[in-house]
């Protein structure tokens, strides 16, 4: 399919970031364009997304850093990200194949065979199930972003652009394609995994009929495609519910409804890490940091407990970017924002931690994650602080403040109650708990 090159701003041969040479355009949208490029160091072919709005580099970095940790065979790998005066750039692996929009145009009559369409969508749901388990919503699911390669469907081009749009603009301007976007996203409302359910249901409708659905359209799918099984039509209808609470709750449930049973779990990297032998049950601590990150919209979250012998904070479990590097790190008494919170017993929300003299910049740099904003809350047991919960960077680009600190204190209370009910928990670590501890990197 021919590409309208008049909509692209980057010329072939241009080198960006002293590393990526533009080869040719792939696709474009309201917020930017995607190009084929090569890494000049090893000539590896990549896809480079150019986002035009250069005003929110901080938001872009937070979101990109998190996406770069994802690793799943059905999800495009984010390799790099950087910014300059002309915008932001997201570098991804180049997925060879044909996207479902092109495939539909080439082979649809007007739609694809039912079993083939359902098969593609189930593979797309495998990708979405993984990213949803990592507390991430794609935001821009549509046929163009599902590429059929040698090993099946791969989900590409996350809707990161919505994080970069002017707060006064509609969601339509920020990201997504009308008729594939869920109504709540179209209206600039809250985004959730159910938003992706709507989009994948709209994609299946399109693959079956040749055209995307119309919001609240009373037309029955069977009128457009008489051979569609009743259970598939019912599943798509439930996936396209205008009100999120009435919509199919998960992509796994949607995949089961269209046929084929539960989704198979293909291998993918979890964004949660723990020390080898944490001071409380591993599954409990990992559930805490994973849930906490979702509740507080954090790019990373961690739980640290005190060593009863040394008084050091030992990071037990973490979720998100930098999770592998922070677990096992010991923070000396009174050091860093977490040390301040442990000593005071009071929650602390810091809008600009990089310029806060209490911030342990050297330790943060050693983990590879230097946050912009942080929320740290103490874990209080019997009137004594036994550890901390830390949240790094809001994914919407905002800053943590006093309201977050109040909410964090309530979440910390629930965390301590959960640890207290765990018979294996040794909150003060000095009572014989074994951990794999390493000092901060220099």
Maximum pairwise Cα distance, the chain: 72
Compute the distance between CA of residue 208 and CA of residue 7 in angstroms, rounded to an integer. Answer: 30
Helix pair 230-239, 193-209: axis angle to 10 deg = 140
Cis amide linkage into residue 31, ω under 30° from 0? no
Helix, strand or coil, per DSSP, at residue 225 = coil
The closest of 272, 274, 254, 271 to 263, measured between CA atoms, is: 254
Of 140, 157, 393, 404, which one is the catalytic site residue? 140
Compute the distance between CA of residue 324 and CA of residue 387 in angstroms, rounded to an integer. Answer: 19
User: Within a 13 Å sphere around the CA of 403, how many CA atoms are in the beta-carbon half?
Assistant: 3
Go through 99-112 and write b for each residue having 16 or more CB atoms within 10 A of its CB, e for each that does not.
bbbebbeeebeebb
User: Is 140 marked active-site?
Assistant: yes
CB 290 within 8 A of CB 135: yes
Compute the distance between CA of residue 434 and CA of residue 440 in angstroms, rounded to an integer. Answer: 18
DSSP string, 372-434: S-EEEEEEEETTEEEEEEEEEEETTS----HHHHHHHHHHHHHHHHHHHT-TT--TTSTTT--
Specify the DSSP class assigned to residue 173.
Answer: H
Coarse DSSP helix, strand, coil percentages of the chain, rounded to the nearest 5 percent:
35, 20, 45
Compute the distance between CA of residue 202 and CA of residue 215 in angstroms, rounded to an integer. Answer: 10
The closest of 396, 399, 392 to 139, measured between CA atoms, is: 396
Where are the extended beta strands (E) located within 6-108?
A: 15-16, 20-28, 32-39, 45-51, 78-84, 87-93, 98-99
Active site residues: 140
């Amino acid at each position: 399919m021919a590409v309208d090159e008049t909509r692209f701003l980057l010329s072939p041969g241009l080198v960006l970031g002293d590393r990526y040479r533009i080869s040719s355009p792939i696709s474009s949208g309201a917020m930017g364009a995607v190009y084929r490029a090569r890494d000049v160091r090893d000539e590896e072919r990549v896809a480079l997304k150019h986002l035009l709005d250069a005003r929110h580099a901080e938001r872009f970095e937070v979101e990109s850093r998190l996406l770069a940790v994802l690793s799943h065979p059905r999800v495009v790998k984010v390799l790099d990200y950087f910014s300059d005066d002309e915008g932001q750039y997201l570098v991804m692996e180049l997925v060879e194949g044909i996207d479902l929009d092109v495939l539909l145009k080439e082979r649809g009559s007007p739609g694809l065979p039912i079993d083939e369409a359902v098969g593609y969508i189930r593979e797309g749901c495998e990708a979405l199930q993984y990213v949803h388990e990592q507390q991430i919503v794609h935001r821009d699911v549509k046929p163009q972003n599902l590429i059929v390669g040698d090993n099946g469907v791969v989900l590409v081009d996350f809707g990161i652009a919505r994080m970069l749009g002017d707060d006064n603009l509609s969601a339509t301007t920020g990201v997504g394609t009308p008729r594939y976007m869920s109504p709540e996203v179209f209206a600039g409302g809250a985004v959730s995994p159910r938003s992706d359910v709507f989009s994948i249901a709209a994609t299946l409708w399109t693959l079956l009929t040749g055209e995307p659905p119309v919001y609240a359209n009373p037309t029955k799918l069977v009128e457009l495609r008489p051979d569609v099984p009743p259970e598939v039509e019912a599943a798509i209808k439930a996936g396209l519910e205008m009100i999120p609470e009435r919509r199919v709750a998960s992509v796994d449930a949607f995949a089961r409804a269209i046929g084929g049973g539960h989704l198979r779990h293909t291998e993918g990297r979890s964004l949660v890490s723990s020390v080898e032998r944490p001071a409380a049950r591993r599954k409990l601590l990992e559930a805490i940091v994973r849930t906490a990150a979702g509740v507080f919209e954090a790019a990373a979250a961690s739980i640290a407990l005190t060593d009863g012998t040394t008084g050091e904070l030992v990071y037990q479990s973490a979720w998100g970017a930098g999770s592998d590097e922070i677990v096992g790190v010991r923070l000396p008494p009174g050091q860093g924002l977490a040390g301040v919170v442990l000593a005071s017993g009071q929650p602390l929300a810091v809008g600009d931690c990089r310029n806060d003299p209490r911030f342990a910049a050297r330790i943060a740099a050693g983990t590879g994650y230097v946050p912009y904003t942080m929320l740290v809350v103490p874990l209080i047991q019997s009137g004594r602080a036994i550890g901390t919960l830390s949240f790094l960077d809001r994914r919407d680009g905002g800053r943590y403040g006093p309201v977050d600190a109040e909410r964090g204190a309530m979440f910390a209370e629930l965390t301590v109650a959960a640890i207290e009910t765990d018979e294996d928990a040794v909150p003060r670590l000095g009572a014989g708990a074994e951990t794999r501890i390493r000092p901060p990197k220099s």
